[in-house]
Chain A
């Protein structure tokens, strides 16, 4: 079970790496294409993709929220910086924001998915939780 504890952070690194790699290619070969910003709703979307993958790959894994926050911050800060999308100061801000967003998203998602994971809807629980959470974040962001 302990091995599975860090699957979530590995998934986050994989998902973000694949997305940024795609953006590096887009920036190179389609420079007129407007690349989306790494803002809070997009951070939540990336976190949710990692959480869905984690739900199937490491079901019932224990959460270490300190590790999730720390490694999440490193992932969201380091990878966009390595892909040359942001400078050092922006990477620091992204890291702090990303760490917080990832931790909160993980906490809420885990709670929702665990409650939904019973009966015939169990298999769809992570997708339903992710969809509901993403809509909620979009609605909340529209208020600010």
Chain B
């Protein structure tokens, strides 16, 4: 009985020592990476300031303001837990970049939201409300069966082709992007940004 208890205690000490010892480096690297991600999703922005968010949109976690736009950190439920994203929106209300920073979606299906450039590129340089695209008769059948908004059902929405086999994940990404765009354009009337450009 002593042997496994000793093994557990030793493992705990090693992990605590490693975690405690590397804590400073980890915090600095995390900060640098966060800044690099902000600059990736909102290119040409030099400095960011953290804006307090007082709106009612539960998807929005934090907002980083720069001179040319905003980077909104949004999080919503996906197929397997929450999906967290950073979405860059310029002062004209157009999406400049987006990256998934936290997700635990199904490997090979929903996990493609992290890396599928074709899927993610559908949001770039566009402004408005995004919705999952359905085509032709499928759209009518889908809308009447589910009662959900689709691009085909709502002419003003921007169509986004869903990831194959991962409609729930696609919808989660769309919710995050819609929240970010609404924050910047003022469509989210509950937010502190009530006019274009915040």
Which residues does chain A contribute within 8 Å of B81, judged by CB atoms? 37
Tell me, yes or no, whether A52 is within 8 Å of chain B by CB.
Answer: no
Mark B42-83 against chain A: 1 for CB-CB distance below 8 A, else 0. Answer: 000000000000000000000000000000000000000100
Whether a CB of chain B sits under 8 angstroms from the CB of A71 is: yes
- Provide the bound-state CA to CA distance between A9 and B106, in Å: 30
Tell me, rounded to whole Å, the shortest Cβ–Cβ distance linking B123 to chain A. Answer: 20
Confirm or deny: B12 has a beta carbon within 8 angstroms of a beta carbon on chain A. yes
> Would you call A71 and B15 a contact (CB within 8 A)?
no
How many angstroms between the C-alpha atoms of A36 and B111 in the bound complex?
A: 12
Distance in angstroms between the alpha carbons of A84 and B27 in the assembled complex: 13
Residues of chain A contacted by B23 (CB below 8 angstroms): 84
Return the CB mask of B117-159 against A: 1 if under 8 Å, else 0.
0000000000000000000000000000000000000000000
A22 to B30, CA, bound (A): 17
Bound together, the chains give a CA A39 to CA B107 distance in angstroms of 14
Categorize the interface residue count of chain B.
20 to 34
The answer to whether A10 and B15 have CB atoms under 8 Å apart is no
Given contacts A28-B25, A36-B104, A37-B104, contact A10 B14 (CB under 8 A): no
Given the known A-B contacts A9-B7, A24-B22, A31-B29, are A82 and B12 also in contact in the complex, defined by CB atoms under 8 Å?
yes
- In the complex, chain B residues whose CB is within 8 Å of the CB of A78: 8, 12
* A:29-87 near B, CB below 8 Å: 29, 31-32, 34, 36-37, 39, 67, 71, 74-75, 78-79, 82-84
The answer to whether B102 touches A79, judged by C-beta atoms less than 8 angstroms apart, is: no
Can you name 17 A-B pairs with beta carbons within 8 Å? A3-B3, A6-B1, A9-B4, A13-B8, A13-B11, A21-B18, A27-B26, A28-B25, A31-B29, A71-B5, A71-B8, A78-B12, A82-B15, A83-B16, A83-B18, A84-B20, A142-B106
Residues of A at under 8 Å CB distance from B? Answer: 3, 6, 9-10, 13-14, 16-17, 20-21, 24-25, 27-29, 31-32, 34, 36-37, 39, 67, 71, 74-75, 78-79, 82-84, 142
